[in-house]
């Protein structure tokens, strides 16, 4: 419903829906939105292209980019067959219900390895009624399956 109108019981628009998380809906009040309209622009919008078939680091970048965009099906498809032995779509997506945003800071090849990628990223999580930012770094071991690098094993620390 993001971007959709928030109406009162009489059908009058009172705001713009922005986010829903764990039963809590956030919105911008209509009178505040009127003042913001002049600053809306599409001039700085860039399409983010990811291709997990290029390299392990590109696969890791794609994985976290899909989480950021809430493209959970695409992120789930980047999990290796071995990883999928330990989870299913519902359990896996439930791990991310409190995440508001994901920001990839860095992905690069981990040393001379052919299947490992180093990653730094942050998440903005909804915790006890407020947004908290967490920073992570570590490695993902990947495996090539069907011409795409997929996530096999993570070693991440906060």
Pull the structure tokens for residue 97: 């219900």
Given a cut of 80, whether residue 147 has pLDDT beyond it is yes
Fold assignment, 56-157: Nuclear Transport Factor 2; Chain: A, (3.10.450)
Question: What counts of helices (H) and strands (E) characterise the chain?
Answer: 5, 7
The predicted-structure confidence for 71-101, as pLDDT tens digits, reads as follows 999 999 999 999 999 999 999 999 999 998 9
What per-residue confidence (pLDDT) applies to 22?
64
How much is the pTM? 0.74
The predicted-structure confidence for 5-44, as pLDDT tens digits, reads as follows 888 888 888 888 887 766 677 888 888 877 777 777 766 7
- Cβ contact 102:69 at 8 Å: no
CA angle 46, 104, 53 (to 5 degrees): 80
Q: Is 149 helix (H, G, I), strand (E, B) or coil?
A: strand
User: Which residues lie closer than 8 Å to 145 by C-beta, 6 or more apart?
Assistant: 80, 81
Phi/psi of residue 92, nearest 5 degrees: -65, -50
The predicted-structure confidence for 107-143, as pLDDT tens digits, reads as follows 999 988 899 999 999 999 988 888 899 999 999 999 9
């Amino acid at each position: 419903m993001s971007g959709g109108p928030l109406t009162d019981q009489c059908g009058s628009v009172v705001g713009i829906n922005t986010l829903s998380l764990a039963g809590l809906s956030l919105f911008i009040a209509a009178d505040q939105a009127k003042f913001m309209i002049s600053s809306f622009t599409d001039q700085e919008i860039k399409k983010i292209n990811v291709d997990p078939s290029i390299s392990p680091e590109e696969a890791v970048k794609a994985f976290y980019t899909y989480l950021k965009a809430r493209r959970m099906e695409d992120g789930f498809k980047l999990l290796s067959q071995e990883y999928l032995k330990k989870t299913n779509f519902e359990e896996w997506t439930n791990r991310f219900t409190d995440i508001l945003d994901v920001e990839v800071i860095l992905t690069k090849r981990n040393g001379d390895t052919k299947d490992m990628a180093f990653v730094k990223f942050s998440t903005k999580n909804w915790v006890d009624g407020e947004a908290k930012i967490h920073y992570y770094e570590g490695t993902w071991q990947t495996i090539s399956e069907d011409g795409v690098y997929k996530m096999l094993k993570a070693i991440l620390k906060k």
